[in-house]
Chain A
Amino acid sequence: MGHLTATAAPPSPPRVTSPPRVDGELPMAGQPSVPFVEIEALRVREFIPAAKEALTALIAEQGQAKLIRPVFNWAGRNSLFPLHWGLACCAIEFAAGFGARWDAERFGVVPRSSPRQCDLMIVNGTVTWKVAHKLITLYEQMPEPKWVIAMGNCATGGGPFRTAYSVVPGVDKLVPVDVYIAGCPPRPEAMLDGILRLEQLIRERKE
C-alpha cells in the first residue's frame, strides 16, 4: 500500500490519494475504489511513523471495514480452493485442468479433498436425486464465504437427462450457483474462464 522513494528532498507530510488500484494489478472497469497511499520518505525510520500516521488518517476517514474488504477479496480470489470430487465426465476435464498442460494452480486454485478446507465447489457432472443430499451436506460443511460453479450442461440445467426420472434439473435447485459454464463437457479452458469470471465476481464483492 506504500512505497519508498529515495529522494534527497526533506520528508513531506503524507499525501493520501485514491486512484482505483491495488498493488501489482491493473485497474479494471467496475472495480471498487481502493485507496492508494503515497508516502515519501528517505529512510525506513521515517517511513514507519509516516505510514502509521497515513493509515490512521485513512481509517478515520473511510472506516475499517471498507479498507479490509478489498484485501480480503484479493486474498480470497487468489487462493480459491475447489472441492476435489467428481460426479461424471466433466470431472475428467476438471482433472485435466489441474494437469501440466493447463495448470490451474497458477491461479492459486488448489483442489482439496475435505470440504472444510474449501471455499469453492465445482459441480462437475450429472447430479441425481440420490446424490443430492450428499451434495448439500458437502456444501454445508464448507466454511463461509463460499462459491459454487455449475460446470457443464448437466449441472447447469440437467442437460440431456433433464426429463429423466432420476436427475436433478440443474444444481441451482439445491445450492446457490455463482457461475455457469456451458459445454458438454466444457474444455479445461472453459473451466479456467469460469474460475476467472468468479474471481471477477469476488473482486466486485461488497459484502
Chain B
Amino acid sequence: MLPADLEQALAPKLGARLVGVEPFEGMAGRVRFRREAALDLFRTVREDLGFTHLSMVGGIDWVDHREVFYVVWSDEANQYLVLSTDLPADDAHVESASGVWPSANWHERETWEMVDVTFDHHPDLRHLLVPDGYVFHPLLRSFKLHEPEELEVKSRHV
C-alpha cells in the first residue's frame, strides 16, 4: 500500500479535513488529518483499509503545538501506518480512538498524563503511571527536573 493509494481511499471520505499523506520510512505512509476528522478516519482506516491492530498512541510537545500520533498495523498489507494530527497547545483535545480500537484506552491515558492532551469520550481517563492527584505532565518541554522534596510537596500524591 502506497501513499497515493491511501490518499485515493481517504480523500473522498474526509475531504478538506485530510491534510495530506506523506511517505514514511518503513511504513505505508503518514496520514496527517485535522482533529475533526478523527473518528471518521479511524473507522475508515480500520474497516475499509484493514488496519485492525492499534500498535501505539503517543504524543509530542513541539512547544508551539502538540502532536498526537497513532501507529496502526494491517495483517493483510503486512504494513504499519502512522496517523497524526496537530493540536493547539492551549486547547489540546482530540476524539478518543478507544471506541474503534479498544487497545487505545491505556495508551491514551498515558498520553494524557504525559503531554496533557485530553481525549474526548474516553471511557476511563485517569492516571496510569503516576499516582492520582499528580499535578505535573512530565513529558512537556516546560517540565523541569525537580528536587525530590519540591516534587513531593507540590504534588501531595501519597
Contact = CB atoms under 8 A, between A and B. Distances in A.
Contacts of A146: none
Contacts of B143: 165
A165 B158 contact: no
Contacts of B138: 165-166
A166 B158 contact: no
Interface in B104-119: none
A132 B146 contact: no
A132 B157 CA distance: 10
Interface residues of A, number: 16
Contacts of A163: 145-148
A130 B129 contact: yes
The interface residues of chain A, by DSSP majority, are classed as loop
Interface string B60-100: 00000000000000000000000000000000000000000
Contacts of A152: none
Interface of A: 129-130, 132-133, 136, 158, 162-169, 173-174
22 contacts: A129-B131, A129-B158, A130-B130, A130-B131, A132-B158, A133-B131, A133-B158, A158-B148, A162-B148, A163-B146, A163-B148, A164-B145, A165-B130, A165-B138, A165-B143, A165-B145, A165-B146, A165-B151, A166-B130, A166-B138, A167-B148, A169-B149
